[in-house]
Amino acid sequence: MMTTPKPKTFRNTIAHAILQQCKVIASATGVPSNDLVRTCLSVNEVDGRTMVGSELDEAVNRKFFLAMEEEIHAITGSYSTSITNRPKPNRFSGDCYINAYAEWKQTGNDPVIGWEATLCGRFISVVPHAFNVDKDGNYYDTANNYKAKGKNDRPCWVRCSGDEAKAWLTQFAKYYRTNDKSIRDALPCWTDVWGGLGVIIHTNNHAYLVRSTGLTTENVDKEYAFHKAIDCSA
């Protein structure tokens, strides 16, 4: 059973996440929320290319990604690898769990559950994601309607794989077919104790991290809490 694409409301967009998380950062740090929003959403020309967000110094960028790698490793126990998109018919964004299940059943390629990062200028969204791994060890997903992600490789972190991921997704598929919420609610981490991360690299060369909780595959508001600031000055 496959679904049709869900309408995307504003509260489920990256723009909404940026606005909400800027408020959290501003409250915790005193950095004006409007300044943070402009850092993320201003449009600039860099080397003849239009880009979203203020230009980032290369040395600051390197220091930031090294710090983020260690921070996410401390949270997840995993180091990053990369995921790419191999779109297939009737696979839609927002249905990543059932996409990974369907791909496993169709190809035999094992499912994986973890985190993925989507980059939007100086804003980075790190959220739960289900995907697959092929026989050569390459991670990929199969949604055919990505806009922001497209064909670009993205960082991902493996958190649940092998028999554990297969058992989880088998139960999820039963819920998906029956809409029996008792099956869904019995799944470990259904309310996703992992949560996610939102990161803004401000023009003061500090990266501000916000933790999110309660992420599921349903359209629900995310709860945010300030996590920490990292000085990325080179």
pLDDT value at position 2? 43
pLDDT value at position 220? 46
pLDDT value at position 119? 83
* Pairwise CA distance, residues 20 & 26, whole Å: 10
pLDDT value at position 42? 82
Query: Distance of alpha carbon 110 from its chain centroid, rounded?
Result: 20
Measured from the Cβ of residue 131, the count of other Cβ atoms closer than 10 Å reads: 28
pLDDT value at position 9? 62
* Pairwise CA distance, residues 157 & 173, whole Å: 23
* Pairwise CA distance, residues 177 & 180, whole Å: 8
4 closest CA partner among 93, 85, 104, 129: 93
Cross-strand pairs, 122 = none
pLDDT value at position 219? 41
Please check whether residue 75 is in contact with residue 123, taking contact to mean a CB–CB distance below 8 angstroms: no
| Low-confidence spans in the chain with pLDDT less than 50 | 1-7, 216-220
* Pairwise CA distance, residues 105 & 98, whole Å: 10
